[in-house]
Structure 1
Amino acid sequence: MKSRPVRRHLRVFGRVLALNIGLTFVYRGDFLLMQLGTLLTPLVSLAVWQAALAAGAQVDVTPGFLNSYFLLVAVVNMLTSSWTAWFLADMIRNGTLNKWLIRPASVHLDGFANNLGEKTIKLMLLVPLVLIMVVLVPGGLPLPATPARWLLFALAIGVAMAISYIFDIARGSLAFWFEDVQGFNMAISIMTPVLAGVVVPLALMPPEISGITLWQPFRFMVSFPMEVLLDRVPGGLVFGFAQQAGWLIVFAVVALVVWRRGLRSYSAAGA
């Protein structure tokens, strides 16, 4: 009996996912331009660091590390990003959340399917662009050859996706109490590329702030999967995955509390 709701949710998720993939594919031209923009920031950062190395700058990484990091971080950032907070806040504010409260499927299931559907198309467009850059960038792209390392990399990406999505639910749910949370969401969107290691690898942060950057949650949304792949996890893999799991639990608890309390106040107000 307990397996029936699970099967039903899986069927609903499959249908919603297929619908979102189809809708996203219609706008594949727009998404191609978006992926070019996604790749631009890491490429500019790579060019800056290559110029710094050529000028004699002393950094604790190799040119090969920089090539691998900046070319692949665009893919990791795309896979682990989430935009649910914006849409969830809008639904709460304008009342369109109401229709989801009477449906058998969860609004969060639809949001996750939307994320996954768009990322499927984005991945198809972004990977060929990255491969072209791999051929053009001098110095090659040193990557691990062991399957175990790639499996750990995939695991880190999966947990990072969950952290990012759950964090978005918590942020979007703030709209239950605040009339406009988009300014807060914009501030987070500006901070995240820096704190997550998209603009600058956290391994290159000044020693004065490296202790903070290694513990803050944004690291585990982008930087940590790259650290796992390139074998540069401070404290080791076990400690790093424990930290990532810890942040996942923290955000899950916060999102659950904020969502449930907000939903009670939303229903009590007669929405």
Structure 2
Amino acid sequence: MTAKFVVLLRAAWIDALAYRAQLFIWVTTGMLPLIMLAIWRTLAGDGTIGGYARDDFVAYFVGALCIRQLTGVWIIWDMEREIRLGELSPHLLRPVHPLWRYLAMALADKPLRLLMMAPIVLIASLIAPGAIPQPDLLRWSLLPLAIGLAFAVYFLNQCCIGVLSFWWTQVLALQDFWFGVYAFCSGYLVPLDLLPAPVTAVLNWLPFRAMLAFPLELLLGRLDQTAIIWGFAHQLGWIVVLGALLHWLWNNGVRRYSAVGA
């Protein structure tokens, strides 16, 4: 299985290189945090807002942009098209489960996205050197795991939405709505600890925090040991829930897909 997945990953990487101009457009149009950075930094002035100074907002929103690029998944458009047009059928006959192919597609463009983020991080560090997070061996050693689990939650969530195409033709409209909810509830547009406490208490249980806010706050050193343990447990819990949901949706969707002769 590992060798087959490597082949899928290599093919997806070649596709990502072929469509690097499109990827550049996706990355630049996903830079909403930089707009929010300008707004919050102006509002903060020489003071603070909820414990965030001007440089803290730089660290937060540049960090949010980078983590979003590392954890985000953009395979739902391919999944919806392939199910709707019957293009999924050949992949169902292959020995490798189609979801492994979608996983390879989701991972393949990450190196390019990192390269595109590098100039932004460099410029931000020159403009606001105080925004660079202080090194912490324990915290930063846990960061790759937190980002990896955030990616897993995001990937499973997107697959669950994508497989609804077996039953419904308006999945992309649902995806647009979902992204609006994600942008607010994950901390992508506003730090969650600036929201009213009752709102934050609810968001702490939803999957959106596991996709972005937790690894971001871990990067910035805004979590104590208890919050870190809870954050990882929260991510793992949603991976189990979404994984089980995806398994059920996929099996029932494929049966319906096969029954109509796609």
**TM-score normalised by the chain length of structure 2:** 0.91
C-alpha contact 2:125 2:132 (8 A) present in aligned 1? no
Q: Give the letter aligned to residue 14 of structure 2.
A: G
Q: 1:81 to 1:58 in 2, by over 3 A?
A: closer
Q: Are the structure 2 counterparts of residues 57 and 134 from structure 1 closer, same or farther at C-alpha, using a change threshold of 3 Å?
A: closer
SS in 1 for 2:204: helix
Question: What is the CA–CA distance in structure 2 between the aligned matches of 1:27 and 1:266, rounded to whole Å?
Answer: 30
Structure 1 residue 99: Cα displacement: 0.6
Question: Residue 222 of structure 2 corresponds to which residue in structure 1?
Answer: 232
- Who is 1:25 aligned against? 17
Q: Is the 8 A contact 2:83 2:165 kept in 1?
A: yes
Are the equivalent residues in 2 in contact too, given 1:171–1:185 (CA < 8 A)?
yes
Residue matched to 1:103? 94
For 2:44, the equivalent position in structure 1 comes to 53
Partner of 2:151: 161
2: distance between equivalents of 1:254 and 1:141?
40
Supply the distance in 1 between the matched residues of 2:124 and 2:48 (Cα, whole angstroms).
24
Q: Which amino acid aligns with 1:15?
A: V
Gaps of 5+ in 1: 1-8
Are 2:116 and 1:125 aligned? yes
**For 2:82, which of 91, 99, 118 is the aligned residue?**
91
- Per-residue CA shift, 1:245-266, capped at 9, x if unaligned? 1111111111111111111222
Query: 2:172 aligned with 1:182, yes or no?
Result: yes
Q: Which amino acid aligns with 2:3?
A: R
Q: Tell me the percent identity.
A: 30
Output the CA distance in 2 between the equivalents of 1:178 and 1:33: 28
What's the TM-score once normalised by structure 1's chain length?
0.89
Cα shift readout 1:116-172 (whole Å, capped 9, x = no counterpart):
111221112212322122212x35223131222112111111001011111111111
Query: What is the 5 A alignment of 1:1-271?
Result: 9-39=1-31, 41-54=32-45, 58-136=49-127, 138=128, 140-233=130-223, 235-271=226-262
Distance 1:178 1:38, change over 3 A: closer
CA distance in 1, matches of 2:86, 2:17: 28
SS of the residue aligned with 2:141?
Answer: helix
- Count of matched residue positions in the alignment of Structure 1 and Structure 2: 261
Contact 1:86 1:185 in 2 (8 A): no
The answer to whether the Cα contact below 8 Å between 2:34 and 2:62 also exists between their aligned partners in 1 is yes
Shift of 1:70: 0.9
